């Protein structure tokens, strides 16, 4: 099936070349970082994780979001998702690829990465994260490939594959739960030390992942003559709405606990995110505009989703609301959540984090790589789909 990636319209090649350009920039920036060290980034002693780990955290969610298609289709036999379930699985592959790249980019000694395997440490959450991330990647490659091959031959997939399909469902939940546990089990980081982090991560993941799939479907409809079907899209919108509402509710609960309890540790990071934190006469607020953008986009998207005309009749508005919710959740989790956890630091000092150009180059390069992988995989999936129709 790989041969399907080798034939395409000019637009396909231009798109790949466009992504390839960013990938090349990413490689060049990474070479600089590799030679100099992570001092090339905006990270510091106080904000010791930056864009790489925050993107990783967000993209684990995008990968887990694929399960919102797998679960209804395979467990509840919801036939409408038949055509797009593969898109969910392939999106997960691209997202996990990005996650692994972001982790590698973040390591101070990347050549020692396999120490995690050579010295397995069951009391470290990163050990489990390695297992579930790689496991989920493997499961999605296996299930996606076997089922698509069967579809191409127009036969039923082999029975044994269903074991792995069902296994991938708890794995999807586990990747984001374990990623939440990287944060929520750390004493002394009040913003992260909250039992609602894992559910909140899952809720935002189940909105962000499907939102990206709708966007992909709308694009594929125009450029590849691939129609996911009205009913499937509608159901996805319902899923996104509930998930985004739950996420909003969870964030509100965090704000309530912080402000009503009035415990400084619980309040400071939230204050830093939304209003800026005053410290020795200086107000630290570089994330405030981002967070309010997130809030506006979040409620704006929810409003659009709630409007039947926008979600059912007007594909532009549907796409727009999906882009809005995706960006809102990306800011919330892909920026704010990680950075604010370091403010203030354990010594009650404030250091703000601003990524460097080199760091942005690597970040964009990895995003481009993920999109590149997803493009190739979607090309295969859509190609097979067309082949059957003929």
Partner 1 sequence: MDKQRRKFLKIAGVTALAGIGAPALVRLSSSNALASEHGAAEEHAAEAVHGAPVEAAPQGVRLGMVIDMRKITAQPELLDKAIAACVDVHNIPQFDNKKSEIKWLWKAPFENVFPGESSYHLAKNVEETDFAVLCNHCDDPPCVRACPTQATFKVKANGIVAMDFHRCIGCRFCMAACPYGARSFNWQDPRPYIKKYNKDFPSRMRGVVEKCNFCGERLALGQEPACVEACKGTGAIVFGDLNDAQSEIRQLLDKEFTIQRNPSLGTKPSVFYIV
Sign of torsion over alpha carbons 191, 197, 201, 204? negative
**Nearest distance from C-beta of residue 84 to partner 1, angstroms:** 36
Nearer to partner 1, 37 or 170 (CB): 37
Nearer to partner 1, 189 or 221 (CB): 189
**Nearest distance from C-beta of residue 23 to partner 1, angstroms:** 21
What does each C-alpha distance from 12 to 8, 16, 134, 323, 382 come to in angstroms?
Answer: 6, 6, 29, 22, 13
Rounded to whole angstroms, the Cα distance separating 360 from 363 reads 5
Tokens of 332: 């919330």
Nearer to partner 1, 125 or 172 (CB): 125
Closest to 211 (Cα-Cα) out of 93, 312, 80, 330: 330
> CB count, 10 Å around CB of 286?
13
Beta-carbon-side half-sphere exposure of residue 265 (alpha carbons within 13 Å): 10
The alpha-helical segments, DSSP class H, found in the chain are 10-36, 51-65, 67-70, 85-106, 115-118, 125-153, 160-184, 197-223, 230-261, 264-274, 288-306, 308, 315-331, 338-340, 357-389
Backbone Cα Rg of the chain? 21
**Nearest distance from C-beta of residue 265 to partner 1, angstroms:** 8
Nearer to partner 1, 70 or 197 (CB): 197
**Nearest distance from C-beta of residue 10 to partner 1, angstroms:** 39
**Nearest distance from C-beta of residue 363 to partner 1, angstroms:** 17
Nearer to partner 1, 48 or 285 (CB): 48
344 upstream amide cis, omega within 30 of 0 = yes
Nearer to partner 1, 127 or 164 (CB): 127
**Nearest distance from C-beta of residue 35 to partner 1, angstroms:** 10
**Nearest distance from C-beta of residue 261 to partner 1, angstroms:** 15
Strand partners, 115: none
Nearer to partner 1, 38 or 245 (CB): 38
Residues contributing to the site for partner 1 (CB under 8 A) = 36-39, 41, 43-46, 48-49, 103, 106-116, 118-119, 121, 123-127, 130, 182-183, 186-189, 341-342, 344-349, 351
Rounded to whole angstroms, the Cα distance separating 171 from 67 reads 9
């Amino acid at each position: 099936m790989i041969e399907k990636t080798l034939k395409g319209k000019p637009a396909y090649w231009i798109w790949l070349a466009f992504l390839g350009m960013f990938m090349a920039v990413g490689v060049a920036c990474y070479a600089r970082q590799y030679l100099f060290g992570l001092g090339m980034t905006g990270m510091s002693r106080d904000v010791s994780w930056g864009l790489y780990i925050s993107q990783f955290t967000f993209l684990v969610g995008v990968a887990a979001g694929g399960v919102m298609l797998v679960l209804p289709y395979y467990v509840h036999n919801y036939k409408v998702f038949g055509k797009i379930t593969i898109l969910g699985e392939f999106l997960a592959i691209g997202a996990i690829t990005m996650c692994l790249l972001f982790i590698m980019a973040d390591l101070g000694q990347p050549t020692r990465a396999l120490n995690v395997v050579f010295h397995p440490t069951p009391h470290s959450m990163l050990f489990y994260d390695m297992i579930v991330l790689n496991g989920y990647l493997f499961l999605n490659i296996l299930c996606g490939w076997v089922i698509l091959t069967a579809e191409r031959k127009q036969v039923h997939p082999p029975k044994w594959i269903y074991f792995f399909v069902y296994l991938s469902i708890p794995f999807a939940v586990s990747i984001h739960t374990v990623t939440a546990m990287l944060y929520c089990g750390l004493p002394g980081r009040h913003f992260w030390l909250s039992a609602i982090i894992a559910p909140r991560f899952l809720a935002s993941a189940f909105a962000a992942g499907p939102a990206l799939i709708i966007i992909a479907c709308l694009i594929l409809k125009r450029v590849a003559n691939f129609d996911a079907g009205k009913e499937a899209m509608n159901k996805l919108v319902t899923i996104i709405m509930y998930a985004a509402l739950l996420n909003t509710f969870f964030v509100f609960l965090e704000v309530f606990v912080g402000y009503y309890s009035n415990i400084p540790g619980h309040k400071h990071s939230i204050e830093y995110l939304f209003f800026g934190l005053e410290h020795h006469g200086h107000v630290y607020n570089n994330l405030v505009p981002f967070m309010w953008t997130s809030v506006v986009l979040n409620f704006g998207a929810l409003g659009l989703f709630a409007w039947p005309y926008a979600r059912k009749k007007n594909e532009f508005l549907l796409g727009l609301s999906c882009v809005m919710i995706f960006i809102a959740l990306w800011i919330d989790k892909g920026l704010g959540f990680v950075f604010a956890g370091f403010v203030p630091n354990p010594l009650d000092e404030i250091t703000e984090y601003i990524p460097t150009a080199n760091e942005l180059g690597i970040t964009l390069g990895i995003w481009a790589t993920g999109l590149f992988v997803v493009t190739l995989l979607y090309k295969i999936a859509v190609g097979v789909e067309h082949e059957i129709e003929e």
